[in-house]
């Protein structure tokens, strides 16, 4: 599916590629925009005002485990299948996921589809912001797709639980890649969620999510490889990705899998869980 050159991820598609296929019934387009309060953007309002023709809206707050007490935790396979099946999406479809800025929240939904059994899932380079800036077609028409059966094939091995995360931290069983900002990682900036301690898991490496893209597009494979090397991540060893609430951690997951790294998991509870507890070790500083 890679249409942007051999040095680009096979999991991203260009705006040119998608625009040429608008209206193709085998391609399902998903708007997965979500924002932090500080960004002052309303994804639902933006979707209603303009979206890519045929795109359905994936609400990351709603398609989640509402009983976990944590923000947008992964839903059960049954709940996920019901939600996306109602959007007219089956596990055999070619699925293209986008967000606003590009390479921000779309990778989380890309990851969710993949661990639920979809095989042909891609992220749109440049996002909706890039799409609109280039004058590509948009619409206000909300599609009403016929419901489909999404036959979930769940891959729990792709997820790290809290208990496993504690074991990884205590016994240094895997490398930990943290997608939050360097200041949040260091404990120099307060967490956006009230009552959350600041800092990082002992032994974690700082890989801010913005380091993997440029102008909303995923960087070349060579550049991704350098980003990991500069952060001290050994791509021959296991990696656990984490962030504030499990969303931007998937950007690191996308980058890892783009480089052929398969021994990686995502800590779904992320800092919302770890930093929200009183019985977990927390380190501060840039190292």
Question: Which residues are catalytic, by number?
Answer: 243
Structure tokens at 253: 């997951």
Closest-CA residue to 188 (of 178, 198, 180): 198
Q: Name the strand (E) or helix (H) holding 252.
A: helix 249-258
Backbone φ, ψ for residue 176 (5° rounding): -115, 120
SS3 177: strand
The stretches of 116-248 forming alpha helices (DSSP H) are: 127-133, 162-171, 182-186, 221-230
Contact indicator for 105, 41 with CB cutoff of 8 Å: no
Q: Decide the pairing of beta strands 213-214 and 56-57.
A: unpaired
Structure tokens at 169: 């931290």
Contact indicator for 111, 257 with CB cutoff of 8 Å: no
The stretches of 21-180 forming alpha helices (DSSP H) are: 43-49, 77-86, 106-115, 127-133, 162-171
Instruction: Compute the distance between CA of residue 206 and CA of residue 75 in angstroms, rounded to an integer.
Output: 27
Instruction: Compute the distance between CA of residue 21 and CA of residue 14 in angstroms, rounded to an integer.
Output: 11
Q: Decide the pairing of beta strands 217-218 and 213-214.
A: antiparallel
Contact indicator for 232, 167 with CB cutoff of 8 Å: no
């Amino acid at each position: 599916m890679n249409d942007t050159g051999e040095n680009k991820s096979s999991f991203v598609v260009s705006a040119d590629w998608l625009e040429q296929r608008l209206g193709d019934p085998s391609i399902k387009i998903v708007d997965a925009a979500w924002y932090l309060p500080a960004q002052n953007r309303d994804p639902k309002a933006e979707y209603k005002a303009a979206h890519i023709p045929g795109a359905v809206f994936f609400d990351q707050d709603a398609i989640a485990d509402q009983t976990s007490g944590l923000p947008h935790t992964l839903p059960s396979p049954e709940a996920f299948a019901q939600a996306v099946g109602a959007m007219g999406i089956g596990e055999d479809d070619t699925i293209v996921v986008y967000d606003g800025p590009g390479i921000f929240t779309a990778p989380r939904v890309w990851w969710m589809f993949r661990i639920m059994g979809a095989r042909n899932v891609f992220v749109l380079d440049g996002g909706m912001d890039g799409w609109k800036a280039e004058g590509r077609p948009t619409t206000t028409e909300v599609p009403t797709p016929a419901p489909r059966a999404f036959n979930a094939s769940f891959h729990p091995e792709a997820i790290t639980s809290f208990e496993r995360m504690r074991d990884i931290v205590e016994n240094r069983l895997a490398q930990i890649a943290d997608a939050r900002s360097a200041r949040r990682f260091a404990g120099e900036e307060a967490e956006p969620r009230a009552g959350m301690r600041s800092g990082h898991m002992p032994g974690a490496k700082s890989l801010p999510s913005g380091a993997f893209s440029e102008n909303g597009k995923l960087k070349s494979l060579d550049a991704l490889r350098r980003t990991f090397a500069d952060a001290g991540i050994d791509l021959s060893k296991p990696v656990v990705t984490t962030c504030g609430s499990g969303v931007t951690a998937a950007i690191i997951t996308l980058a890892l899998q783009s480089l052929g790294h398969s021994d990686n998991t995502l800590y779904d509870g992320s800092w919302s869980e770890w930093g929200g507890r009183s019985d977990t070790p927390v380190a501060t500083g840039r190292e």
